[in-house]
Amino acid sequence: MRQTIVRIAAVLFIPFVTVCTGIRVGAEPLELTRQQKAIEAGGLNAFAAENLPSFTLASLDNSIPVVIKRSTTNRILTVKAVLLGHVSLTPVEKAGLEAVTLRMLTRGSARYPYPEFQRILFEKSSSIGPSYSSFDATSFDLITVDSYFDELFAVFADAFLHPAWNAEEFPRVMNDFKVAKQEAENDPWQRTVRLLHEEFFYGHPYAASWDGAGGSLESITLDDVKSYYERSVSSGRLILVAVGNFEPEKLLKSLNATFGAIPRKPFARPPVPSFAGAVKPDLVVEPFDEAEGTAYVRGDFALPSPDSPEYPAVLVAFSLLDDLLFEIVRTQHGACYSVWSTVHGFTASYGDITVYQTSVPGKVKEYVDEAIAVLLRGQCLSGKVSASAEGKSGIGKEIDVKAQKGVYVPIAEALPFYKRQFITRFYSSQQTNISVASQISSSIVYQGDYRDYLLMMDRIAAVGSEEVVRVARAYLRDNPALWIALGDTHVLKDVKREDFLGFMGK
């Protein structure tokens, strides 16, 4: 039976641009330069100091902000039209409407019928399309080589500004969304996440997920899409981000002639409340015999927002926890195929701990808390390469692994390794111009400054071992979590609700 519960050197500005200080979002302006004092104070890392002069911040005639980052590392140019808000603008009964709307923009425009749209993209090996896998913002993106930019930008702008609303393609677009949702329903892991989120997001704007909620996809019509576009795609929601070897003055002229012609229209984003204080500890048990002898266990819980002073320490703590979970839950206890922890840094941030494919779901909460308890004692796995031979990740003699129960060292000893690891992964994810544009966009939405991601290295470097322990106590031990155990009825029989309601570590 299912237990149902009642849920990132000062910047050099090009002389001709007008500096944009912010746009209205709700009652407060969305900041683009919140970190200006910190940047002007100097003492930044070399990466930040090197990149800051590459930015141009401007405003179109209708006040749409434009951020241009000049990059000469390759010939790819990208422009991202970012729309603020997203799921907070759509009711649950129409969840997925903005994603569908953005997808319809790729089905032809006033000047470029769909076959012509497809032909140009194919012949130029270019991409124009939406990105909507965020609760707080979406975007419509252009990626092309410099030789084709003028031609492709014309297609991109016309698709966004003058969509054809192709009635013949609309059913196909909707079918793609419905098929993806049905496939997710049949996949035990994706089903686990969806069911948990139904409970965790209940009554919150995030309940209106971009991939649909309940039967929302069945209710969306082409008239809904047209109406939503007219109502919500406005200058007040837009930020334009461009990364590549651009001549800023030339690009701004093109942007002003197209996006700058959108009538001025204010935008008020509905509030997005924090999950803090709203999560009640509980467990959802969901039989799903198609899992065939396995189960999937996940817990979600509130975390501080990306602009919180605690956020860098939370990121570091979760990096340490990931290795501990793998070592203890998978290696020592052999309890699952994989296990991980994730920080979801949205406006309303939350974290999760996931145990993927386990045959002992009734025991994994105890093992997870055993890993957390190591952090609470001020310890973690060694960052030394030789640690693997000593028992880390189960490599070495089995008897030694069981005797040592991992190679635990004081957090302060391993922290330099984990900081380098985190920073390497963070900046490795920005190897393409589109990924850099995405990071800039995220910095604006969540940190109020397009340059904020350049400061992440300094923030992570400043985290101390005491902070790691403190946030582990606050968010991993004392923080209420909503759990789900989904799987084969046979393996769920030993799952006890009371085991998931509190901390079981020592």
17 lies in some domain: no
Q: For the chain, give the percent of residues with pLDDT over 70.
A: 89
Q: 350: domain range?
A: 282-500
268 lies in some domain: no
Maximum separation of any 2 CA atoms in the chain, in Å: 71
Question: What is the DSSP pairing of strand 350-358 with strand 22-25?
Answer: unpaired
Provide the token pair at 143: 């990626």
183 lies in some domain: yes
Q: Which of 430 and 318 is assigned the larger pLDDT?
A: 318
Please tell me the least confidently modeled range out of 14-28, 201-215, 449-463, 479-493.
14-28
Q: Are residues 157 and 221 in the same domain?
A: yes
pLDDT of residue 228: 96
Q: Are residues 142 and 238 in the same domain?
A: yes
pLDDT of residue 22: 33
pLDDT at 124 over 70: yes
Q: What angle do CA 496, 497, 502 make, to 5 degrees?
A: 110
Q: Are residues 367 and 459 in the same domain?
A: yes
Q: Are 279 and 99 in contact (CB under 8 A)?
A: no
Q: Are residues 193 and 298 in the same domain?
A: no
- For residues 47-71, average pLDDT: 94
Q: Are residues 324 and 244 in the same domain?
A: no
Q: Are 292 and 325 in contact (CB under 8 A)?
A: no
CATH code, 109: 3.30.830.10
pLDDT of residue 396: 37
Q: Are residues 398 and 315 in the same domain?
A: yes
Q: What secondary structure letter does DSSP report for 310?
A: T
Tens digit of each residue's pLDDT (9 = 90 or more) over 293-336: 999 999 999 999 999 999 999 999 999 999 999 999 999 999 99
Average pLDDT, rounded, for the chain: 89
Instruction: List C-alpha distances in Å: 452 to 444, 455, 458.
Output: 8, 5, 11
Q: Are residues 222 and 309 in the same domain?
A: no
Q: Are residues 200 and 101 in the same domain?
A: yes
**Paired strand residues for 482:** 282, 300
Tens digit of each residue's pLDDT (9 = 90 or more) over 270-286: 889 999 999 999 999 99
233 lies in some domain: yes
pLDDT of residue 384: 59
Tens digit of each residue's pLDDT (9 = 90 or more) over 176-233: 999 999 999 999 999 999 999 999 999 999 999 999 999 999 999 999 999 999 999 9
Query: pTM for the whole thing?
Result: 0.88
Provide the token pair at 284: 């959802």
CA distance 132 to 427: 22
Domain count, the chain: 2
